[in-house]
Structure 1
Amino acid sequence: MKNSRTKIYLNLLFAVIVIAIQSCSSASAEVSNNIAEPFKLPVDVKVVSATSIDQIEVVSGSAISNREIAVVSEVSRKIVNVGFTDGSYVTKGQLLYKLDDADLMARLKQVDADLQLATINKNRISALLKNDAVSQEEFDIANARLISLQASKDLLQVEIQKTQITAPFSGIAGITRAFTGSLANPGMTLVKLHEVNPLKIEFSVPEKYSSAVKTSMKISFSLPNVDEQFDAKITAIESEINTQTRALTVHATTDNKDGQLKPGMSARVYYSTSSSNNLGIKIPTEALIPGAGGYSVFVVKGGVAKSTSVKLSNRSESEALISEGLVDGDTVMISNLLRTGEGTPVQIVTSK
């Protein structure tokens, strides 16, 4: 009976030992599995690709007249007529101001009379000279008198011409500063004349982009409170960079047949600084990590995050243009950046 109990106890002990060994083995396997599969940070990524880009710069500009002059008088005379309405369109050669020329016209009549008499006198003396009835000296005096009177007439006609102030080109006349009856003095601005079709857009290009703008290059511009964008073509580039602003002055010409554009209007000018074969990589701005030395991004390689420095060419609120640091096909992280460090294991959740 005693041997039977001992045998039972031994069997129970053996069973307990077997169960304990199995439990330890299971726990060891679980620990081993946990070590083999560490935690991976879930992230969203974007697989980038190099594409042809057109980098657009935006600067402030102004609309200016194609040509603009201050109409002035060359002589001091009273204005007897104003030949235009303020703000009206005038054509080339149109009379703008007529100055008093009564005394000049009277002198012209006198000179014409003297000239007619001198012509008759010269012809008579010339006939007498052929018969040796007069001396050569008398003929020379008569001829000189005729030439002098002709010069006097020419001079008077020039003075009379100065009393007719006309438009040198077609354009919009401003507000007159002189009126009928007032005295026009030499150099006094009477009115300003603007040629507004075509119209010019003046803007400045930073020194670093000075080589990107060329004559005949197309640009676009917009105006305040106007949704439409207008096209223009670069027609003139200043020969030197302004040493104060470190910028290059550029003029672009645009059509203004409808007169919608006015000189002095402010404009937003858009011009390209990219060449036709310029390539770049665009990434979302949330992928950028600012630092003391610039910007960097996390690139996923072999299941871990690798920090990569990048150089920005341009950026907007939603996108950044990368010129250096990334290559075609790189996988760039765009989420969970604050929880990521160099070499952090990651699990890609979504790829854009």
Structure 2
Amino acid sequence: MKLKYIVYPLLVLLIAYLVYNKFYGAGAKEKKIEPASRKGGKKPDKTVPVNVMLVKDTAFSNAIDITGTIDANEQVDLRSETAGNITGIYFKEGTHVNKGQLLVKVYNQDQYASLRSVQVQIKLAEIVEYRNRVLLQKEAVSKEEYDTSLSSLNVLKSQADLIRAQIAKTEVRAPFSGIIGLRNISPGGYLSPSSSIATLVNMDPAKITFSVPERYLPLIKTGSKIHFNIESSPQNFVGTVYAIEPNINQTSRTITVRAKSANPKGLLRAGSFAKINLTLEQIPKTIFVPTESVIPDIKSNKVFVVSNGVAEPREVKTDVRTATGIQITDGLKPGDSVIVSGIIQLKPKVPLKIVKIIK
């Protein structure tokens, strides 16, 4: 029983000592004295270190990256206008053919026989017409007789023209110069108007077809330059816009544009995928600032500029955006110092420490 009367007082004394030492000991006094010493010492540095860019006028090319397709300048699936057995094939696959060159001939001996028969009749009709014309001048025949002979001659000539047209339909000729593809026919085979002979393609110049978002429509015009690449060649190609579709696609809200590019070496093939850089406009004099320096607001945008060593907010109007910069159309002038780092710490009238000046 006596032991508890000794232990309990000792525990109370120990706890009291610890409490006293915490609040009234030497360590506590140092902590209380420390703020006082700070009050009398040097004030903390409140300046914000920043990088600054000097505003200047720069030239800018407004361009967009899009995709397109290489198309042939001219392309046609060759077919015959008349049916018949093939009597001759006059081209080699994959070779160049000239406009008007005979490519395929269908059996036409029947038409030639009919033509020779009509030509004989024409010669006889010409003799009759000449004789009646002389007699008419001598008033030996009536005008009606002469008109009948002249009409017969003209009818025969019309028949001859019709047969010649039928003969022309038995010959398939190249409608334009180009490269002819693989043939789908053989000598002696039967050719009908629904049968495909081969494909004729003209690829010089090549056409590039692509679509542009509707909002760029005011900036696109004939004569605009495009630069493009294709997978099958490391060469950079240049083209010129020559036609713009008048209607806007209601599904994609884009407008179709077509350009031409010289293709003397035949490197561009129809159907190829093209990566296109389209120059929309050239701006010779404008202001661009880094994207991170512009602070978007609900109603406007703003930047911070250096004014008498402190930060000054300034509202700006923006236009074109690129991967690294934003065009400023109003609010800045050449010579202004735009803050491009430490934007989060900035407030109006905050003192600044300029670490680096970007020119």
Question: Smaller-chain TM-score range?
Answer: 0.7 to 0.9
In structure 2, the partner of 1:60 is 67
CA contact (8 A) 1:199 1:255 kept: yes
Deviation at 1:132, TM superposition (A): 7.1
CA distance in 2, matches of 1:301, 1:29: 35
> What aligned pairs does 1:28-107 form with structure 2 within 5 A after superposition?
31=39, 34-35=42-43, 38-107=45-114
SS of the residue 1:105 aligns to: helix
SS of the residue 2:154 aligns to: helix
CA distance in 1, matches of 2:57, 2:176: 52
1:221–1:294 CA distance, 2 compared to 1 (3 A): farther
User: For the aligned residues, what is the CA RMSD?
Assistant: 3.2
When normalised by structure 2's length, the TM-score is 0.76
CA distance in 2, matches of 1:247, 1:144: 61
Amino acid at match of 1:154: D
In structure 1, the partner of 2:288 is 281
> What aligned pairs does 1:137-176 form with structure 2 within 5 A after superposition?
138-176=145-183
In structure 1, the partner of 2:305 is 299
CA contact (8 A) 1:303 1:345 kept: yes
Amino acid at match of 2:115: L
Deviation at 1:254, TM superposition (A): 1.6
Report % sequence identity.
32
Q: List gaps (5 residues or longer) in structure 1.
A: 1-26
**CA deviation map 1:55-82 (0-9, x unaligned):** 2222222221222223222222222222
Alignment equivalent of 1:332, drawn from 311, 332, 338: 338
CA distance in 1, matches of 2:137, 2:332: 103
CA distance in 1, matches of 2:293, 2:139: 111
Alignment equivalent of 2:115, drawn from 108, 112, 129: 108
1:32–1:78 CA distance, 2 compared to 1 (3 A): farther
Alignment equivalent of 1:345, drawn from 340, 344, 351: 351
CA contact (8 A) 1:242 1:248 kept: yes
1:333–1:132 CA distance, 2 compared to 1 (3 A): closer
> What aligned pairs does 1:191-202 form with structure 2 within 5 A after superposition?
191-202=198-209
**CA deviation map 1:119-155 (0-9, x unaligned):** 3444455566677776665554443332222211111
When normalised by structure 1's length, the TM-score is 0.78
CA distance in 2, matches of 1:97, 1:224: 36
Amino acid at match of 2:356: T
Amino acid at match of 1:351: I
The total of aligned residue pairs comes to 323
Greater shift in the superposed pair: 232-241 or 138-147: 138-147
Alignment equivalent of 1:183, drawn from 190, 194, 201: 190
CA contact (8 A) 1:314 1:322 kept: no
CA contact (8 A) 1:313 1:323 kept: no
CA contact (8 A) 2:55 2:287 kept: no
**CA deviation map 1:308-348 (0-9, x unaligned):** 555351221x4444445543233233333444445443311
Amino acid at match of 2:167: I
1:324–1:271 CA distance, 2 compared to 1 (3 A): farther
In structure 2, the partner of 1:246 is 253
CA distance in 1, matches of 2:249, 2:151: 58
CA distance in 2, matches of 1:135, 1:52: 89
CA distance in 2, matches of 1:339, 1:225: 51
In structure 2, the partner of 1:237 is 244
SS of the residue 1:79 aligns to: strand
CA contact (8 A) 1:212 1:272 kept: no
SS of the residue 1:104 aligns to: helix
